[in-house]
Amino acid sequence: MTRPLASSIVVGVATALTAAFVLFGATSPARIPVVLAFSLVVPGLGWARRLRLSDAGDTVLAAVTISICLLVVVGEGMALLRLWSVPGGFLLLAAVALLGVVPPRGRTDLHGHPGRSGPRSWWPGRHPARHSRQRAAGRTVM
């Protein structure tokens, strides 16, 4: 099983299990560790996977960091807007977590053409079609 698929399964199962505890008002002693584990790892797991870090420990550390940041942003936003509710906060974190595991769309350059995924693929003057038009017009190309 590949890492992206495994993290997607982990996020899906953890979200479903935590939803059972949070949304349906379960009063099991397992509720606190499950919700805590979900809150500290799952919202950032899909986003950390997109960083494509080479070490699994780095990915988990990034996931925990992203998750804590998301908890703070969601909590502060809900408190400032006076929309605080436990199910609402959970649903928002679950939505962010599930968005993190959705595969990204194909990359395109600024003109909608399939582009390179390199770090400078967006740089002005690097578009291949533009280069061929400039060469055809007799202009120098950078």
- In this structure, are 10 and 80 located in the same domain? yes
Domains held by the chain: number: 2
Task: Specify whether the backbone of 74 is left (phi greater than 0), alpha (psi in -120 to 50) or beta.
Answer: alpha
- In this structure, are 30 and 93 located in the same domain? yes
Contact indicator for 21, 87 with CB cutoff of 8 Å: no
- In this structure, are 97 and 111 located in the same domain? no
- In this structure, are 12 and 79 located in the same domain? yes
- In this structure, are 88 and 130 located in the same domain? no
Tell how far CA 49 is from the center of its chain: 8
Contact indicator for 88, 23 with CB cutoff of 8 Å: no
- In this structure, are 74 and 26 located in the same domain? yes
Question: Which pLDDT score, from 0 to 100, does residue 116 have?
Answer: 56
Tell me the C-alpha distance between 21 and 28, whole Å.
8
Question: Which pLDDT score, from 0 to 100, does residue 68 have?
Answer: 95
For the chain, the residue count is 142
- Give pLDDT tens digits for 76-111: 999 999 998 888 888 898 888 888 888 776 666 566
**Chain-wide mean pLDDT for the chain?**
77
Domain of residue 132 covers 107-142
Least confident interval from 11-20, 32-41, 80-89: 11-20
Tell me the C-alpha distance between 142 and 120, whole Å.
14
- In this structure, are 122 and 96 located in the same domain? no
- In this structure, are 91 and 120 located in the same domain? no
- In this structure, are 95 and 114 located in the same domain? no
- In this structure, are 86 and 142 located in the same domain? no
- In this structure, are 34 and 75 located in the same domain? yes
**Rounded to the nearest 5 degrees, what angle is found at the Cα of 105, between the Cα atoms of 103 and 111?**
165
- In this structure, are 21 and 89 located in the same domain? yes
